[in-house]
Amino acid sequence: MRLSTRGRYAVRALLDLTLHMEQGYVSLQAISQREDISLHYLEQIFHKLKKQNIVKSKKGLGGGYLLAEDAKEISIGDVIRAVEGPIAPVYCLDEKCAKGKCPREKNCVTHQLWKRLEERMEGFLDSVSLDQLKEEANTIKSLQDIKAGCQK
């Protein structure tokens, strides 16, 4: 399964939001500039994220977006499902697309293989929170700052 730009950009944009929301609501314009993502595309992504209660918004001066709950409580799986739909590596596992259960589910060896893959993908994506990505980003930034200081 290949994630679309929508899923990848949603994770990048929410990480950016998580890193910058200490100052309050974060504008999509600011995220767009920092992440080099089209503002129009971000608006579409954040519409879906808001619909799934991952972010909340405030209009007007000083408005923008915040996470709807603590970054520790939002998994990357939550984000991907909000903007991409179910995490299903094959068509027959996506009940919405397959219009119900796969008729071969009971006796199809490959169906079981794809089901196990789906469970592992979901398990992995659900095991990583936005807060964990924030910590990783801060670690990378600290290492870059140290390296830059040594070169002076």
How many other CB atoms are there within 10 angstroms of residue 44's CB atom? 14
Tokens encoding 146? 């140290």
**Any idea which fold 5-150 has?**
Arc Repressor Mutant, subunit A (1.10.10)
CA separation for the pair 31, 17 (Å, rounded): 7
pLDDT for residue 57: 95
Question: 44 near 122, Cβ under 8 Å?
Answer: no
Sequence-distant (≥ 6) Cβ neighbours of residue 7 within 8 angstroms: 79, 80, 83, 84
87 — pLDDT class (breaks 50, 70, 90): confident
pLDDT for residue 91: 77
pLDDT, averaged across the chain:
89
pLDDT in tens, 33-80: 999 999 999 999 999 999 999 999 999 888 999 999 999 999 999 999
Question: 71 near 91, Cβ under 8 Å?
Answer: no
Quote the percentage of the chain above a pLDDT of 90: 64
Q: Got the DSSP string for 66-92?
A: EESS-GGG-BHHHHHHHHH-S--SSGG
pLDDT for residue 1: 63
CA separation for the pair 129, 13 (Å, rounded): 14
Q: Is the pLDDT of residue 100 over 80?
A: no
**Domain extents for the chain?**
5-150
